[in-house]
Amino acid sequence: MKDSWSFFALLKLNKSKILIQEKMKKIVLKLLAIITIVTTVSSCGSDDPVSIIPPLSDVMQNLESGILNGALTESATLDAAVQYNLTGQFTVADGASLTIPAGTRIIADAGGSEVYIAVLKGAQIFINGNPSNPVVMSSANGEPGDWGGLTLCGKASTTAGVDAVAEVGDFIYGGTTDTDSSGNINYLQIVGTGAQITTESQYNGVSFYAVGSGTVVNNVAVINGKDDGVEFFGGTVSVSNLYLENNDDDSIDWTEGWNGTVNNAYISHTVAGFSTVFEGDKDNGNPKFNNITAVSTVGGTALQFKKQSGGTITGLSLSGYDVELDMKDGGATSNVVFESGVEPVAITDPADAATMDKYFYAINGANAAPVVSKSDFPWVDSSLSFESSVLQGTVSGTVTLDASVSYMLNSAYIVLSGGKLVIPAGTKITARDGGTGVYIAVLKGGQIEIDGTAANPVVISSANANPGDWGGLTICGNAPTSAGSNSVAEVGGFIYGGTQDDDDSGHVKYLVIKGTGAQINSESQYNGVSLYAVGNKTELENIAIINGADDGIEFFGGTAVATNLYLKDNDDDSIDWTEEWNGSVTNAYISNTVAGFSTVFEGDKNNGNPTFTNITAISAVGGTALQFKKTSGGVITGLHLSGYNVDLDMKDGGALSNVQIEGSDADATLISGETSKYTLNSGKSATALDISSWSWIGAGL
């Protein structure tokens, strides 16, 4: 009986619990109904109806907390007062949009390829920075490769086809809507991007995958990227006002037939090992580039076009690059259309199979004065300050340097006809060791005024002053030359020569120049100072040329007169002349302490009968002193030679009478076993030139 009672008691108890639960459900339902009625009634006649707010998604909750992470599937606007942290992959999904107001700062974790922002196909981003308050996306330290960067995927056309798969993130991109809009980007600075994905793939600062022309992109700065600054994968988007600083691979890269435009770009390289300024690849969509300035302090390659890629470039200024144009896969240079006056000139032989993979060109005219400068981007937060001290481009008016500024000669610096370059006493110019791409040239009709003093000479030298580090100083004039009027120089293709004996190219006083003589080809080199048809009104006084890989000073015709020359350890000839130069040198001290040089003097071709007064040449390593080729010669007074194995070499059998020493034909004896080499019997033992007061020759950077 007890067990039976217990069973029924338990059954009764359970039934009671069920009844209580059912009553509670009814109470809850009634309460919900009351709430609904109250809400409905309270909203009647009101402008602000009350509704029940659904819970926030995880991504939106993250945004409320200042965190960007996950997939945004609805539209959202950030708060400029909040500093956001990008902690992982943040994507804006198809149909959603992300708005970022002016002044917003997003700090990305240094998480490599797992940290990025991607706007997917069909989504939009609106970055609304302004000059006073740009939007900033950066890792904490801004180190290259810290995070992925910003990627936009659109519906425009690409040679990769519709719904192609991106090399980063496997994002889908590409369609047929060339006017597609992925939103707008205004005043964005992005730092520390380019994380490595695989050995072949990296994120860029900003990647545009088939982005359409309806997307507005203005004022974008990409700094310290491990890969490209910006890259276009097909599409039709255009970009204006790009600032690209120290991106390790390419500053502007494109492929897949992109055919948009870049207007106004300033590109700088101060870290060695980057790839290029431009890299175009695959089919040529003929993108346009207007007003591009690129400056390197570390050499490198400027423009590279792979396969059949190309483009149209107007307003190009390149400074400091070893190679200005590289048609990497042998594509036709006609694929790259430059403005009038800018044309490629081969610097290696493209017919040589061994160099076909290095089909390089130099671009004549690509060193025009920059039309875009760092100062055009005051809103960019950058510590680079070298621009004001870089000598680049051309001088068309009068430019006066400042002796208090340490200048860098980064590439060609050319004084045009009608232009004047004034270099005051004490100015120091460091030439980049960039070989033939680094030189100063004064063209026919231009002038240079180097105003050094004995106490404060002007110094132009590479940092280490090694022979061949850079080109040197070239001056072109309008005096006569046997090459004829408007001849073409062997260096730079400069035009020189005319009929004006007293032509005036300015003056050079108290100049110390070191590390010159870069090799152009097997036959041609730059000299320390090259004087092409320079006239006798040009003043050349107190010039020291030290450690040149070719000649110290060379005269190509003309009537130039030089006084007080110090020439030390120039690998070829200390004083060289040709084309019937008939000027003079007074007071020259030549020192040879490095074996293997050519000569003290080298005269070539017809004899213009130049004169030399007070010439002292001393060798510690033997060698040849005076060499005269063909029928060349000259008049020499006050000659002091010491330490040379050969005093006189009439290399091509010219008559000794062509060389007048102390008023007579050269008095010389043929060296045993030789046919053209002589020992001077007299006229070589004048008192050595006393240069003890020439303290200025020891000046350095």
Hey, where are the domains in the chain?
60-364, 399-492+502-582, 610-692
* Nearest Cα residue to 477 out of 581, 399, 547: 581
What's the CA gap between 463 and 469, in Å, rounded? 9
The CA R_g of the chain, rounded to the nearest whole Å, is 37
Within 10 A of 219 (CB to CB), how many other CB atoms are there? 23
Give the phi and the psi of residue 681 in degrees, each rounded to 5: -85, -25
* Cα dist from 381 to 86, 101, 132, 375, whole Å: 20, 18, 11, 12
Structure tokens at 51: 């509704």
Q: Which H or E run includes 277?
A: strand 276-280
Task: Determine the 3-state secondary structure of 359 from DSSP.
Answer: coil
Amino acid occupying residue 568:
K
Asked if residue 251 lies in contact with residue 278, where contact means CB atoms within 8 angstroms, the answer is yes
DSSP 435-502: BTT-EEEE-TT-EEEEE--SSS-EEEEESS--TTSB--EEEE--S--TT-TTEE-TTTT-EE--S-TT
Structure tokens at 462: 């590479």
Asked if residue 451 lies in contact with residue 424, where contact means CB atoms within 8 angstroms, the answer is yes
What's the CA gap between 454 and 699, in Å, rounded? 10
Give the pLDDT score at 297. Answer: 85
Task: Determine the 3-state secondary structure of 217 from DSSP.
Answer: strand
**The domain 60-364 is classified under which CATH number: 3.40.50.300, 3.40.50.720, 2.160.20.10, 2.70.70.10?**
2.160.20.10
* Nearest Cα residue to 84 out of 101, 92, 75: 101
What's the CA gap between 365 and 340, in Å, rounded? 9
Sequence-distant (≥ 6) Cβ neighbours of residue 180 within 8 angstroms = 154, 155, 156, 210, 211, 212, 213, 214, 215
Structure tokens at 359: 């089909």
What's the CA gap between 277 and 302, in Å, rounded? 5
What's the CA gap between 413 and 430, in Å, rounded? 13
With a threshold of 0.85, does the pTM exceed it? no
What's the CA gap between 496 and 551, in Å, rounded? 19
**Per-residue b/e over 414-426, b at no fewer than 16 CB within 10 Å?**
bbbeebbbbbbbb
HSE (CB half, 13 Å, CA atoms) of 408? 20
What's the CA gap between 124 and 371, in Å, rounded? 33
* Nearest Cα residue to 281 out of 228, 315, 327, 249: 327
Give the pLDDT score at 46. Answer: 41
Amino acid occupying residue 25:
K
Asked if residue 445 lies in contact with residue 476, where contact means CB atoms within 8 angstroms, the answer is no
Structure tokens at 561: 């007169």
What's the CA gap between 175 and 181, in Å, rounded? 12
Give the pLDDT score at 199. Answer: 78
What's the CA gap between 57 and 421, in Å, rounded? 66
Give the phi and the psi of residue 335 in degrees, each rounded to 5: -65, -25
Asked if residue 569 lies in contact with residue 591, where contact means CB atoms within 8 angstroms, the answer is yes
* Nearest Cα residue to 107 out of 183, 184, 202, 189: 189
**Per-residue b/e over 386-409, b at no fewer than 16 CB within 10 Å?**
ebeebbbbbbbeebebebeeebbb
Give the pLDDT score at 651. Answer: 97
**Per-residue b/e over 49-87, b at no fewer than 16 CB within 10 Å?**
eeeeeeeeeebeebbeeebbbbebbeebebebeeebbbb
Asked if residue 536 lies in contact with residue 469, where contact means CB atoms within 8 angstroms, the answer is no
Structure tokens at 1: 């009986």
* Cα dist from 451 to 92, 408, 536, whole Å: 63, 18, 18
| Adjacent-strand bridge partners of 475 | 442, 531
Q: Which H or E run includes 60?
A: helix 58-64
pLDDT under 50 in the chain at which residues? 1-51, 349, 351
What does the longest C-alpha to C-alpha distance in the chain come to?
A: 157
Task: Determine the 3-state secondary structure of 9 from DSSP.
Answer: helix
Within 10 A of 367 (CB to CB), how many other CB atoms are there? 26
Within 10 A of 686 (CB to CB), how many other CB atoms are there? 17
Residue 614, phi-psi category: left (phi > 0), alpha (psi -120 to 50), beta (remainder): left
Amino acid occupying residue 161:
G
Q: Which H or E run includes 16?
A: helix 2-43
- In 524-633, the DSSP E strands lie at 529-532, 539-546, 553-556, 561-568, 573-578, 584-592, 599-603, 611-619, 624-628
What's the CA gap between 116 and 169, in Å, rounded? 10
Give the pLDDT score at 536. Answer: 98
HSE (CB half, 13 Å, CA atoms) of 687? 2
Amino acid occupying residue 488:
V
Task: Determine the 3-state secondary structure of 658 from DSSP.
Answer: helix
Give the pLDDT score at 384. Answer: 77
Q: How many residues does the chain have?
A: 701
